[in-house]
Every structure is written in C-alpha cells, then in structure tokens.
Structure 1
Amino acid sequence: MESLNLRLIHALQIDGRASLRRIASVLGVSEQVVARRYAALCESAGLRVIGRLNPRPVGQTVWALRVQSAPGASLGLARALAAREDTRWVQLASGATEIVCHLVAHRDGAQDAPVQLLDRLPGVTSITAQRVLRLFKGGPTTWGALTCALDQDQRDALAPAFAPPDARSPSVELTELDHVLLAALARDGRTTYAALAAEARCHESTVRRRIAHLRAAGALFFVLDIDERLLGSPTTTAIWMSVRPAHLAAVGAALAEHPEVAYAAATTGRTDLLASVLCPDDEYLYDYLTDRLGALPGIDAVETAPVVRTLKRVGTVGRHRNRPGGTRRG
C-alpha cells in the first residue's frame, strides 16, 4: 500500500473523527488530496470509521464464542451470526469447522445470552462461551503496530483530547439522544455534526457537547473497519492460552506490546487468555509461537485455530459481499 494511504489510515486510527483538513495539515499535503485518497480507500478497501461503545461503563458484557455446527452448516450459520446487531468479529476457523465470534449482551441478560443464541440459530450443535474479563489490546489499539506510519510529533498532533477507553471507567447512563447518535455513528463514525443534529432533531451544539461527554467519560470511541490483509498481514490465527493466575496480567501486558497481536483479552472458562495474531505466513507463525509466545513465563498450554474467512469485523454487514476472503462492510 502506498505511503500516503498508510499515513492516512494511521491518522484515522489515532482519531477517527479528525477532520480531513487537520489530517492534511499534519501529513503536509492538501485537503483535496486527502479527501480523494479517503474516498478511494472507502470504495476500494471498504474503509470505514465506526463509533463503538466501551462495554462495561454502559452496562454491557462481551462473550467470546466458539460455535460448532452440523456438517455443512457452518457458512450459513456464520452469515446468520454476522447479520445480528449484537455480534462482531465473526470468523470461520479451523478449516471452516468452527465459528469464532464476539457477542455483546446487556448486563441484565448477560448470563444466559449464549443460551438464547443457541436457541435462536438452527444448526448449532454446541457453544463454548467465555466472558471477557479484561481487555489488554483491541478496540482503538487493534491496528496500532500495523499502521505505524507517522512519527511521534504527527501522532501527538492528531491525538484526541480524550483519554483512551478503560474498562474501569465510571458508569454512564445513556439517554434517548445518545441512542440516536450512537446508531448513526455505528453506521458511519465520521457522520458530520450537522447530519447528526438533523437526524436527532436537535441543535448541532447539543450533539457536539453530548459526543464530547461520551468520549471524555470513556464510553465512546472510534475504530477502523478495514481488511487487515491490506496492511501487510494476510493470515489471522486465534490463540487460546491456559495461563497461571499469578502470570495472567504480565502475559496479557506482554501480548499487548507484540506487533503481531491485534487482540488480547483475559476470559473465563477452560482457558484464561484469548488472542488474535496476524502473521504473513506459517513459518512466521511458527517462529512467533516458539520464540515470542514460548518465552513468556506462566503459559501452560496453547491452542491455535487458523482463521480461513472473516465475515464481519466491527461494522454491520453491507456491500462487497463477494470480495475474496470474506464479506466487507460499506
């Protein structure tokens, strides 16, 4: 990918709502050039900025699911899961014999959310559900190492005036206005304040204040929806690890620093740590498992599952359904 495109992607990863004028100034090019490149990436790569809620402050619980299906039913089941509003990162793994995905549930119904899912989807034979306890890497930090195209001064110039979301942020009570704004930002995180105000039927200044409040409270952040293969790492592997409790925090923190790791979280269940690793080929993955992961103390067992197709990332399923390797969202 061209250098300017990578720098633009990195800029949006830092602050998805930064204006194109501000980005152009930091990159040292014209606003027109940035606008053309952004439009081209949206069209050719399905690039989108997505507004996301930080689960715990708004009363949500996240489950990491491994779904087994009847023979021949996995692709149809994965598509059904991808079409749901409460799922993200729906992937076929292990030679398409299982589905890995995340399920977001409101805290009031969190305990039986996986059971309800099993009841509503035909073809499911079993579900392994692990509740996410602590996020070490993911959300706004997913592509950090893959999009490291800007120097420190440029990163500082683009950094938003809001602290990164934290699971320990205080609770936030969402209003009716918030729900309208969040629905629009989930479709397009760069929707203008004027358009948001028109949809919410209120003053633009009210929309600005409310979004700033949600971001400052750690309840709202913005992520990129883009095919990770375009960033130079074509293969994804899900890794489940059994880690001794005394080492769990240290291993999670170490994984967060690995450039190969896009996601790492502590979970309940038979294994304690789930990670998603991006590697260019099998030899690289082997070296990562033996040299990098194997050097971390406290890991007793590792299970890997190559992802063969990604049907949904962070956004809703939309256009580019026939793109090789998985569906894209528009």
Structure 2
Amino acid sequence: MLDEIDRALVHALHIDGRASFTQLATVLAVSPQTVSRHYERLREQAALRVVGLPDPQLTGHEQWLLRLAAAPETALDLAHALVRRADTSWVYLTGGGTEIVAVLETPLGMAHGHSLLLHELPPSVGLTAVSAHHLLHTYRGWRTPWQMSANALTARQQRMLGGTRLVSRGETPPSDHCSQVQLSPADHALMDALRRDGRAAIAELAAGTGWSPATVSRRLDHLRACGAIFFDIEIDPALLGGNVKALLWMAVAPAHLDEVATALARHDELAFVAHTTGPTNLVAHALCRDTAALYRYLTHGLGAVKAIHTMETAPVLRTLKAVGTIPTPGSPSDRGRTT
C-alpha cells in the first residue's frame, strides 16, 4: 500500500507532472532525495508513469468510445491489435472476456473515423459486433483525476504547485481561453515524446523534435499555458483502493443529464464520467475496494439517483492500455529530469 508521502507525491504529479524533485520536495516538506526515492519506488512497484496528452478539442481531434465483441478465442488478439495503434487509449477487456472497450481519437469532422479503424483491423480477429459512442463531454477524467488519487494535499500545497479548485473538485476546466492550435510536424513529435514520457528532459525532447532546447522549452510552456497539452498519471488503482473495476453504461433523460453527470463526478467511486451518443448516454468507470463495495455503490449510491432509467454493468477484467503510449523495449526510462 501507499504511505502518506506516496499519496502526496501522486497528487502533486497530477497537478504538475513536470515539477522538479526540488519543487516537489518543497511542497511535501521533505528532501529532494526522499522525493526521488519514493518516485522510483512508485515507478517500480505501482506502475507510476507521467504522460503528456494533447487536448483533443484544442488540437483538432475528437474521441470515440468503441465497444467491440469477438469470439472467445480471438478477443485477446483483437484487444492487442487495438493496443498497438497510436490513436487508441484505455483498451479494456470486459464482461466475460469477449468484449473490448477502447477510446479512439480521430481528426475533427471525420464523422465515421471509427469505421476506418475497423477496416484496418486484421480479419483474423473475428469481430462479431461493434458499437461506437462519440464522447461529447467529460465530467470526470482526463484533466480531472480520480478523487482517490488526488486527495492528499492541502489547498495551500496545491496552490504552491499552481493547482486550482478544479483539480480538487473535479470540475471541467474551460477550454475557450485558447483557440484551436495549429500543430507542426515538430509539435506532433514533441507530443509523441511526452505521451511516452511526460517527464523527459528538455534535451531529450529537443533531440526528438529537431528544435533547440530553448525552442522546446518555449513551445512547451506555450502549449501548456493555452491548455493544448496537459499531464496525467498512470498508476495501479488497486494501491489506492480500486481493486474491483467496472464500466457503467447508463441512460438518463436529457433534461436531467447534466445534473446527474455533475453529481456523479463527485462520487469517490468514479474515475471517469462522460456524456456520449447512443442508447446509453452516460458512461462511467467505477473503482471499488471489493465486490461488496461495488454492490453497495450500485444499489445505494447509484440506486438512489432516480433519473437513471437503465444501467448496464460490465466488469473490467484487464486493462491492456491506459492513456500513454506503450513503452517499447530499450526506450529511455523516466529519471525525473525536467530541466
């Protein structure tokens, strides 16, 4: 399990994934050596990783939530085919092991972008069913982390890292403070590198983009300031009390959707809440300590929300890919350098 410093460090990295060990040490009131030691241990034992992610809305993209079904003997092959794609994230094996759920990112305006993915999948995967849900609005997730992974710092400590009330309360930050960003090939290379390693040193990022370190530093500062890129954390949720995982597909009357989704985004059990297209217009990702806790949440937590007309529960058996790029063997490791 995580100790007090571990939890504080995880929360701090949610706020500023590129904060130096010295900055983090000041906020946590420990030495930089202590921060470094805890960080390395979390990387090795808790699968901690910082990843830089582009904001889809500001970088000309949209997201689809795909539910794909395959025969039992080919479902895992289908899942791994999705994992290998650069435009996918959150690849889950759910239900009885024959359904795969994944998030696909496509260029804005490509209304049938998800269909292109299906044509590119190898025929051997034995695809038997498909449904695609356009992600219209996210209430919890992406920029607003699961509350159980971001509840260790005081308000003062969060301010020291530049955090705001959005970080601790799970509200969706406005994106209208910056118009859509036109990305150059070097920008794409920069974002690809940060998706692999959000704490990569400026010198490493410069080598991958062809820019000078000073140019990389200025461009990264600009992209962060206007919201075109942000940083997220990958970590084993079981260490934070999320041993049992389930996807929840809910149908809510449109008149009550925003009210219900906003309320659910404050629930400790939910790491992701979003409005989607389709017969179930609200999807959530539940993380609970055990099956008994999941039962209590479904019957008492969600059962008390009268505006939820129907709900489907799909247990997550395996998480094959999260938000970052799957590291390749021999890729540079994250040593906590952000200079």
Scaled by the length of structure 2, the TM-score of the pair is 0.89
**Secondary structure, aligned partner of 1:139:** coil
The reply on whether 1:116 has 2:119 as its aligned counterpart is no
Higher mean alpha-carbon deviation, 82-91 vs 71-80, is at 71-80
Q: Map Cα deviations across residues 246-289 of structure 1 (whole Å, 9 max, x no partner).
A: 00111111111111110010000111101001011222112111
Q: Map Cα deviations across residues 18-75 of structure 1 (whole Å, 9 max, x no partner).
A: 1110001111111011112212222222211100011111111100111101231111
Partner Cα distance (1:227, 1:96) in 2? 21
State the Cα distance separating 1:222 from its structure 2 match.
0.3
Q: Say if 2:17 and 2:231, in contact at 8 Å, map to a contact too.
A: yes
Aligned pairs, how many? 321
Question: What is the identity, as a one-letter code, of the residue corresponding to 2:252?
Answer: V
Partner Cα distance (1:97, 1:167) in 2? 37
Q: Say if 2:7 and 2:149, in contact at 8 Å, map to a contact too.
A: no
Q: Map Cα deviations across residues 165-191 of structure 1 (whole Å, 9 max, x no partner).
A: 545553111123311211111111111
The reply on whether 1:132 has 2:132 as its aligned counterpart is no
Question: What is the identity, as a one-letter code, of the residue corresponding to 2:147?
Answer: G
Partner Cα distance (1:107, 1:71) in 2? 34
Partner Cα distance (1:199, 1:84) in 2? 20
Partner of residue 324, structure 1: none
Q: 1:276 aligns with which of 285, 290, 302?
A: 285
Partner of residue 97, structure 1: 98
Flag the 1:67–1:90 CA change in 2: closer, same or farther, 3 A. same
Q: 1:157 aligns with which of 156, 160, 184?
A: 160
Q: Which runs of 5+ in 1 are unaligned?
A: 321-328
Q: Say if 2:140 and 2:146, in contact at 8 Å, map to a contact too.
A: no
State the Cα distance separating 1:106 from its structure 2 match.
1.0
**Secondary structure, aligned partner of 1:145:** helix
Q: Map Cα deviations across residues 71-111 of structure 1 (whole Å, 9 max, x no partner).
A: 31111111111111111111111121211111111124x32
State the Cα distance separating 1:7 from its structure 2 match.
1.3
Partner Cα distance (2:282, 2:35) in 1? 39
1:287-326 to structure 2, matched below 5 A, reads 287-318=296-327
Partner Cα distance (1:231, 1:63) in 2? 28
Partner of residue 169, structure 2: none
Q: Say if 2:186 and 2:210, in contact at 8 Å, map to a contact too.
A: no
Partner of residue 27, structure 2: 26
Q: 1:171 aligns with which of 168, 171, 180?
A: 180
Q: Which runs of 5+ in 2 are unaligned?
A: 167-171, 335-339
State the Cα distance separating 1:319 from its structure 2 match.
7.0
Partner of residue 190, structure 2: 181
The reply on whether 1:144 has 2:147 as its aligned counterpart is yes
Q: Say if 2:148 and 2:240, in contact at 8 Å, map to a contact too.
A: no
**Secondary structure, aligned partner of 2:149:** coil
Partner Cα distance (2:243, 2:15) in 1? 22
Q: Say if 2:196 and 2:326, in contact at 8 Å, map to a contact too.
A: no
Q: Say if 1:65 and 1:100, in contact at 8 Å, map to a contact too.
A: yes
Partner of residue 250, structure 1: 259
**Secondary structure, aligned partner of 2:138:** strand
Q: 2:210 aligns with which of 193, 201, 207?
A: 201
Flag the 1:167–1:304 CA change in 2: closer, same or farther, 3 A. farther
Partner of residue 85, structure 2: 84
Identity of aligned residues (%): 45
Partner of residue 18, structure 2: 17
Partner of residue 69, structure 1: 70
Question: What is the identity, as a one-letter code, of the residue corresponding to 1:128?
Answer: S
Flag the 1:318–1:200 CA change in 2: closer, same or farther, 3 A. closer
Partner of residue 39, structure 2: 38
**Secondary structure, aligned partner of 1:141:** coil
Partner Cα distance (1:192, 1:181) in 2? 12
Partner Cα distance (1:102, 1:304) in 2? 18
**Secondary structure, aligned partner of 2:58:** helix
Scaled by the length of structure 1, the TM-score of the pair is 0.91
Q: 1:213 aligns with which of 214, 219, 222?
A: 222
Partner Cα distance (2:47, 2:127) in 1? 30
Question: What is the identity, as a one-letter code, of the residue corresponding to 2:48?
Answer: L
Partner Cα distance (1:131, 1:212) in 2? 31
Partner of residue 260, structure 1: 269
Runs (4+) of structure 1 exceeding 6 A deviation are none
Q: Say if 2:65 and 2:132, in contact at 8 Å, map to a contact too.
A: yes
Partner Cα distance (2:204, 2:290) in 1? 44
**Secondary structure, aligned partner of 1:130:** strand
